[in-house]
Amino acid sequence: MIAKHISQRGFATSSKSNVHVTVLGATGGIGQPLAMLLKQNPLVTRVNCYDIRGAPGVAADLSHINTPSVAEGFGPDNNGLEKALKGSEIVLIPAGVPRKPGMTRDDLFNTNASIVRDLSKAVAEYCPKAFVGIISNPVNSTVPISAEVLKKAGVYDPKRLAGVTSLDVVRASTFVAGLANKDPKDVNVTVVGGHSGVTIVPLLSQQKDGAAIVQEGGQKLADLVKRIQFGGDEVVKAKDGAGSATLSMAYAAAVFADALMRAKSGESGVTTPAFVESPLFKDQGVDYFASQVTFDKNGVSKIHDLGKLDASEQKLVDACLPELKKNIEKGVQFVAQN
Ligand code: NAD
Ligand code: LMR
């Protein structure tokens, strides 16, 4: 039943591929449900779970699910990180601390920057050809951190690194569907920019139900844009000190991974928003930007431009760029100095 529901939401249903996925931070609030969703995906043959604590237990539990993929858990002892990564084709990284009420994602930088740096070094050493999807916040800075580490190791390929921003798409689509009284599976809102506050830019005018709200304008539109940009805060507040979005994030990352795997298995035209090294605003000093990206078996194959924006969306992009530039520079500097 669950698998059927998931397949209706965009997961692959036939198995043509043979993909080995590793989750780094697999014991966490995101890691566990993400590993479970991967275990259910017929395109996955192996789910390696790595964490500094408890990953063998998570994998033992997963291994009792009667799907064909293998789940194996590793900790830091006995070269566990190397074993978890060797042979991996997709590495998803939700390792790191989540927010508490009152914190911004940037407040996580001091802890998560070094975690992402060190895990990216391991990726460079043990599976340099893998596609890396960064979930750990602040994504606007952790993706450039990972890129700089991979560059230093001489293995960086911009086709194979992305920040996972699909939760913004999932949220925006859910919120718009709610307002329009539609089934969320029929509403797909593109969200571009980055992954925090004003860097999150929903392109509502490009989706029928969103366009109707844009047309209406006023407080309804302002509230919707604010809710999409600050949706993460809603969950942080409701969890009241126990962390941030985990289940919706695991779902969003599993859908993103499924898109990568479908592209890997030869499906053409697989397109979804992702935060990647992008030419779109390089002339303004913004080297990474989330927009619609088409993937093929080698990773990123086409970065789409933003299409037609209405005046309010152009304003949002204008507000996004300086903040995003600052966040990216912070990540780049961290690797240069550490
Ligand atoms: P969590 O604390 O529940 O889990 C994090 C896990 O990472 C823990 O199990 C911890 O042991 C592990 N970990 C820490 N250091 C590690 C290391 N060096 N190697 C391997 N594992 C390590 O947190 P969570 O709720 O799962 O969130 C994880 C991260 O994801 C946070 O930074 C959060 O802000 C971010 N996040 C991002 C998005 C997004 O849209 N990109 C959405 C939600 C959360
Ligand atoms: C989210 O958007 O839910 C995540 O980035 C977690 C957070 O800190 O809000």
Residue 9 is predicted with a pLDDT of 45
Other Cβ atoms closer than 10 A to 208: 12
Q: Which residues of the chain fall below pLDDT 50? A: 1-10, 12-15
Residue 243 Cα, ligand 2 centroid: separation in angstroms?
9
Q: What is the pLDDT of residues 115-130, one digit of tens each?
A: 999 999 999 999 999 9
Task: Pick from 244, 247, 255, 275 the residue to mutate for probing ligand 1's pocket: most ligand atoms within 8 Å of its CB.
Answer: 244
Task: Kindly give the number of the ligand 1 atom that is closest to the alpha carbon of 246.
Answer: 25
In angstroms, the CA 49 to CA 61 distance is: 11
User: Exactly one of 5, 20, 64, 195 is catalytic; which is it?
Assistant: 195
Residue 8 is predicted with a pLDDT of 41
Residue 334 Cα, ligand 1 centroid: separation in angstroms?
19
Q: Does residue 117's CB lie within 6 angstroms of at least one atom of ligand 1? A: no
**Closest residue by CA, ligand 2 atom 3:** 232
* pTM of the full structure: 0.96
195 is catalytic: yes
**Closest residue by CA, ligand 2 atom 4:** 232
Residue 67 Cα, ligand 2 centroid: separation in angstroms?
30
CB 25 within 8 Å of CB 245: no
**Closest residue by CA, ligand 2 atom 9:** 232
In angstroms, the CA 310 to CA 250 distance is: 32
**Closest residue by CA, ligand 1 atom 9:** 28
Which residues are bridge partners to 23 per DSSP? 49, 92
Question: CB under 8 Å to 267, separation ≥6 — which residues?
Answer: none
Which ligand is nearest to the Cα of residue 233, counting in written order? 2
Residue 17 is predicted with a pLDDT of 60
The pairing of strands 44-50 and 70-74 is: parallel
Residue 115 Cα, ligand 2 centroid: separation in angstroms?
18
Dmax over CA atoms of the chain, in Å, equals 60
Alpha carbon 16 to chain centroid distance?
24
Task: Pick from 81, 85, 97 the residue to mutate for probing ligand 1's pocket: most ligand atoms within 8 Å of its CB.
Answer: 97
Residue 18 is predicted with a pLDDT of 77
Residue 325 Cα, ligand 2 centroid: separation in angstroms?
19
Task: Kindly give the number of the ligand 2 atom that is closest to the alpha carbon of 103.
Answer: 8
